[in-house]
Amino acid sequence: MHEDLLPLIQELERAVELRDARAATATLRRLNDETIYSGNEVYDRLHAVEGKLGVVLFEGLESAEFGQLVSDDKHLYTFRVWEALEEVAERVSVGALWEIKDYLGLPCPNSCPKLHATLATADDETISKQLIETIDRLAGTEAREGSSLSVHDRTMSAFRFVRWTPDDRGLGACVRLLAARSDSSAQVACRRYLIDLPWGAD
């Protein structure tokens, strides 16, 4: 069965070599309908080209289309795509990162320090304001059930209930990025979060 997919893998490799994002996209979508198990030539060749493929797609597609494609693909590893973008961080703009975050999340400061720094040092204060809105929304959702607190207090106290794990829906990444930013909106918000946390509460 996997031998039947080798022509598609060859098409994908050729599209990457030619830096043809549209051809690569079409082939990826066809592969996405297939089941590919590890431990065979198709799997190995797909992931061998994964990094270069990520860069070709990023540079050849609109940011939102790229994010949607990678997010929907069941074979690509998102962390490897991020690693590939980190290697070409100087070619990745603030605007592009902000668009693809809705699909792939925010770059990790540990594995993608250059990309994270691009957002952390961006002059646009709108980034901080949107991060604050996202944090308030996500944190508030965590403590909504059974809470009799005001909206503001519920948002602040919610930090006790947040699951600081990969399934926190990006809350942790938003907090880390906001804390790394130096504009006044970010600084005021971080101070507010710290002061309003229920220190000592059960």
Q: What distances in angstroms separate CA 30 from CA 91, 149, 185, one per listed residue?
A: 29, 50, 45
The amino acid that residue 26 corresponds to is: A
- Of residues 168 and 11, which shows the higher confidence score? 11
pLDDT tops 50 at residue 192: yes
Residue-range definition of the domain harbouring residue 146: 123-202
Alpha-carbon span 161 to 153, nearest angstrom: 13
Q: CA 57 → CA 53, 69, 89, 100, 183, distances in Å? A: 6, 9, 15, 12, 33
> Same domain, yes or no, for 199 and 102?
no
Cα 102–Cα 157–Cα 113 angle in degrees, nearest 5: 40
Query: CA–CA separation, 188 vs 190, rounded Å?
Result: 6
Mean pLDDT of the chain: 86
Residue 173 burial by CB count (10 A; 0-12/13-18/19+): exposed, middle or buried?
buried
* One domain, residues 90 and 135: no
Mean pLDDT, residues 177-196 taken together: 89
* Pair 135, 175: CB distance under 8 Å: yes
State the pLDDT at residue 139. Answer: 74
User: How high is the pLDDT of residue 194?
Assistant: 79
Give yes or no: residues 2 and 95 share one domain: yes
- Same-domain check for residues 80 and 2: yes
Residue 60 has pLDDT above 60, yes or no: yes
Judged against a pLDDT cut of 60, whether residue 11 lies above it is answered with yes
Interval 8-14 mean pLDDT: 97
**Helix (H, G, I), strand (E, B), or coil: what is residue 198?**
coil
**Does residue 148 share a domain with residue 100?**
no
- Asked if 62 and 1 sit in the same domain, the reply is yes
Q: What is the mean pLDDT of residues 116-120?
A: 96
Is residue 113 domain-resident?
no
What is the number of structural domains in the chain?
A: 2
Task: Assign 150 a pLDDT band (cuts: 50, 70, 90).
Answer: low
Distance from C-alpha of 165 to C-alpha of 39, rounded to nearest angstrom: 30
Between CA 62 and CA 119 the distance in angstroms is: 19
Burial 99-117 (b: 16+ CB within 10 A, else e): bbbebbbbbbbeebeebbe
pTM, rounded to two decimals: 0.81
The reply to whether 96 and 129 lie within a common domain is no
Final residue of a structural domain among 53, 78, 107: 107
Local confidence band at 171 (pLDDT 50, 70, 90 cut-offs)? confident
Asked if 150 and 90 sit in the same domain, the reply is no
Examine residue 100 and state whether it is found in any structural domain, yes or no: yes
User: Where does a domain end: 50, 74, 107?
Assistant: 107
Do 70 and 169 share a structural domain? no
The mean pLDDT value for 95-100 works out to: 95
Q: Where does the chain have alpha helices with state H?
A: 6-17, 21-31, 41-48, 50-60, 63-72, 78-87, 94-104, 113-120, 126-142, 151-157, 171-180, 184-196
